[in-house]
Amino acid sequence: MADKLIIVESPAKANTIKKFLGGNTKVVASMGHIRDLPKSKMGVDIEGDFEPEYINIRGKGDLIKSLKKEASSAKQVYLATDPDREGEAIAWHLAHILEIPEDSVCRVTFNEITKETVQESMKHPRKIDLDVKDAQQARRVLDRIVGYKMSPVLWKKVKRGLSAGRVQSVAVKLIVDREEEIEKFIPKEYWNIYVSLLQEKSKEAFEAHYYGKNGKKQDIHTKEEVDTILKDIEKAKFIVDNIKKSEKKRTPAPPFTTSTMQQEASRKLGFTLKKTMSVAQGLYEGVKVEEKGTVGLITYMRTDSTRISEEARAAAKKHIVKEYGENYYENRYYKTSKDAQDAHEAIRPTYVELEPEKIKASLTSDQYKLYKLIYNRFIASQMSAAIFDTVAVDIKANDYLFKANGQTLKFKGFMTLYVESEDSKKEENKKEQENTLPELKEKEELKKQKIEPKQSFTEPPPRYTEASLVKALEEKGIGRPSTYSPTITTILERRYVEKEQKQLMPTELGKVVNNLLVENFHDIINVEFTAKIEEEFDEVAEGKEAWKQVIREFYEPFKVTVEKVEKELEHVKLEEEVSDVPCEKCGRMMVYKYGRYGKFLACPGYPECKNAKPIIETIDVPCPVCGGKVQVRKTKRKRNYYICENNPQSCNYISWNKPKLGEKWEPEENVTVETKKKTSKKATKTTKKAKTVKTSKTKRKANKK
């Protein structure tokens, strides 16, 4: 019989905690949730004031029996699930299953899984926070109602199996809206004029750009305007008119929150959100480190706070002063967003002395990369600002003004260790950091070397990446740290959105679903409503609002909307887009349909004629081998490749690269990798089968003997 039984969510976390607790203590894992709403029905009693109908999750019967047995034989049970709303709800469900009273002092949380924190936390158990649990319950119930009431509209009008969701549908809407902006965008012409100038004394050349005329800024839109300026300054002298020197400071970024960690891991490491959270979970739950044993290397990874403890601050100071010197340290506090829950610290290393390089051998490649990112970001957040000497020079040519800017790094400060990346303007920032100018004097004449006008066009807004979508969701107050990754994973798995070179693009299916939902559920599928609901969930967690009241206020207008939509769409049939491809079985013109994998062709005569086929995309360049049509296909990983329509019957053309007219083609061995894999798989199966047959024969012979 154990004196203490501690229940956590995962075996990895259980193994780490076991090592920190002496005495007769047992630590077991619940493997996540053990109760949830049923999958086969809504599971919310709307007539019974929205009471959720929880059931034990299928397949967890043996685990529940085991937990009950362990709990009944322990003197004290502690529920140490994750320190967030989801963890609080899991603890509440465990208490129900194990018949632990709600007011029992049984709840323990660890912001970091280190020996000191675990032992200290065990001294201060508390009751389950029912307000926090209710906030999770409110989200679960509301999302279930929305999904169950809205999804059937998609089944009737688009295709069975599709789903709608409060947050996922808004995320799809953002991506579709951005795509529409890009499609409607009309580029506008603009020009820049660059002049290369030489200082005779130093023989140093530098570049200046056109600013305007008579001290006023002028935007250039046409070639005619450029020609006029060039003509007016053709014989002009370039004179230094004004020099302004100053000092500029650049301060470090705060330590990571969940969203900033996801964004930086995407930009710097190329990690998907799902991968980032999975690797971070492993670092939090525990890694076996030489001379330290199994220990959690980072604090809890679901947080929207930039706050750090005074102990962590002191450890950072000691490390910075020792490694870089006193002048590299600055005690910094960061403002946390007004919408942040601030329940946990920022994401930081648990032990500053465990530098990434020192424990590299104990980590997987991905763990090392993410740990190094978290470690360096945290240490840099407590370092001095970088200092630049800047110079801004005005240069006149008659009445025309040109400007040149330069800066030199005077003191590296935090940039010794870490520089935050951005989605755009990376090259411009890099260029600005490295740009130096010669020592110039006012009234000094400079020699014009060459003048270069450059035509440009305004560009549409960029497509969202996983990183920039998370940033947008956070800025708009949609979702919370725990929801960003599952939301984006869901819309990719539903094939409403696909990823191409990190960019998120809506599929045809995504556009159809979005248009239908936005037209008919405009009050729900919008940013303002979704953000407002998140605020109400926060109020429930703080005990300021009853969770059922939030659902009641939402449900009545929602019910009216659903009934109205069902009535209006009852006799509406979505017009099918007719293709120019005849059905080879019955002659009707085939129509475009949407399935799990996107758009395909189907005969409109269904169910009499069940003919369907994929849409084959071709290019306007003939096959360089036989002159046939070249088809564009995708690998399982969505990479395009090009193949002749006659392959493999009479032509062997297949390539990763789009063919060009007149270009000679050489066979590329690695394009056939997938085919080889299939063959080798088949060969392996055959070999296994042969071995099995041989073994059976051998056994039979042995038995006869």
Query: Is the whole-model pTM more than 0.85?
Result: no
**How sure is the predictor about 382, in pLDDT bands with cuts at 50, 70 and 90?**
very high
Catalytic residue among 54, 78, 300, 642: 300
Reply yes or no on whether 194 is catalytic.
Answer: no
Higher pLDDT pick, 598 / 512: 512
- pLDDT for 661 equals 84
Three-class DSSP category at 504: strand
**Strand order from edge to edge, sheet including 589-595:** 578-582, 589-595, 598-602, 612-614
How far is Cα of residue 633 from the mean position of the Cα atoms in its chain? 27
Nearest of 40, 92, 235 to residue 547 by alpha carbon: 92
The dihedrals phi and psi of 169, each to the nearest 5 degrees, come to -70, -35
Most confident of 154-163, 650-659, 661-670: 650-659
- pLDDT for 675 equals 39
Residues 6+ apart with CB under 8 A from 10: 29, 31, 32, 281, 285
- pLDDT for 680 equals 38
pLDDT higher than 50, residue 84: yes
Mean pLDDT in the chain? Answer: 88
Considering only 223-232, 298-307, 433-442, which range has the smallest mean pLDDT? 433-442
> pLDDT by residue (tens digit) across 279-296?
999 999 999 998 788 999
- pLDDT for 470 equals 94
C-beta of residue 8 within 8 angstroms of C-beta of residue 14: yes
Mean of the pLDDT values across residues 209-221? 94
b/e map 357-382, b = 16+ CB within 10 Å: eebeebbeebbbbbbbbbbbbbbbbb
| Dihedral sign for Cα atoms in the order 582, 586, 591, 595 | negative
Considering only 104-108, 309-313, 388-392, 666-670, which range has the smallest mean pLDDT? 666-670
Residues 6+ apart with CB under 8 A from 125: 78, 105, 106, 107, 108
pLDDT higher than 50, residue 312: yes
